[in-house]
Amino acid sequence: MSLFQPLPNHEVTSRDKILDLSQPHIMGILNVTPDSFSDGGQFNAIASALAHAEDMIAAGATIIDIGGESTRPNAAAVSTDEEVQRVIPVVKAIRQQLGKIGSDIWLSIDTSNPIVMQAAFEAGADIWNDVRALKREGAAAMAAKLDIPVMLMHMRGEPTTMSSLAQYDDVIKDVCAELTARIDEVTSLGVKREKIIIDPGFGFAKNYEHHCALLSQLERLQTLGLPIMFGISRKRFLAEVLNKSGVEAVATTQAIERDAVGTAAGLFALQQGASIIRTHNVAMMEQAVALWQQLSAYNQS
């Protein structure tokens, strides 16, 4: 396949907004939690969260993904009230205090809780990003009621059990089949197919070999005919890649030190049809996307 073929011609709508997914979009991660694996505690005050959102928008993010519950392995459960208290003030602050950019930016909520999502939607959120693919009680019905774009991620089990379920005959084929089954289930419950974005779930119920297969054959997910979101930023697989490089200087890394390899992975995903790249380091990803877009335009002229 060409390195610079156009992205699939997809779009999603939320209220009166249209997100053109035939162009790449960068989703900036905004964790308003005390315990996320990479940046827990850095942005769980409204002022710091707002400043970080503004910085990411200035750096090129077109979507801000706000999460109030960590999904790292063995993370502590968060009550509905606590998650609402973490997320909703940040949504309101972005919409009310950042002027036109706060009105125009797409806000995604990283939650599996339908009550949290309803409150976030009422506060101004646009997209539901659910690592559990609407499996919580009432989630699919809520997504249908709100009629908003939903990101359905592939995962087996829960974050506490997923590692033991990382067994596949053909990881690409199995992920496609399991996502297809989930899509069929949620659409039977009223979620519109044209509102769905798929996420292959890097970092969830997959090991090193599975990640290698997924990242090198991500284009096979295009057979589902839906837009793809790619999120691998700072995850353990990237640490494993660096450790296996044989270069001592990068063999042992903290999460924040994996942005360069994560950006490279984002480019591999982009060239295979992923429309949305979810990242902690928006500025670095924006530079890579700019290069890809300009080379794409050059090769199509």
Active site residues: 235, 278
Q: What are phi and psi of 67, to 5 degrees?
A: -125, 130
* CB-CB neighbours of 15 under 10 Å: 11
CA distance linking residue 31 with residue 278, whole number of Å: 12
Which residue(s) pair with 110 in the sheet?
67, 129
Kind of pairing between the strands at 25-31 and 276-279: parallel
Nearest Cα to Cα of residue 192 among 128, 131, 132: 128
**CB under 8 Å to 264, separation ≥6 — which residues?**
288
* Placement of tokens 């960590």 in the chain: 70
- E-strand ranges in 22-111 read 25-31, 63-67, 106-110
Kind of pairing between the strands at 17-20 and 11-14: antiparallel
Task: Specify whether the CB–CB gap between 255 and 244 falls below 8 A.
Answer: no
What six digits make up the tokens of 236?
Answer: 């353990």
Task: Specify whether the CB–CB gap between 47 and 94 falls below 8 A.
Answer: no
DSSP 8-state secondary structure symbol assigned to residue 24: -
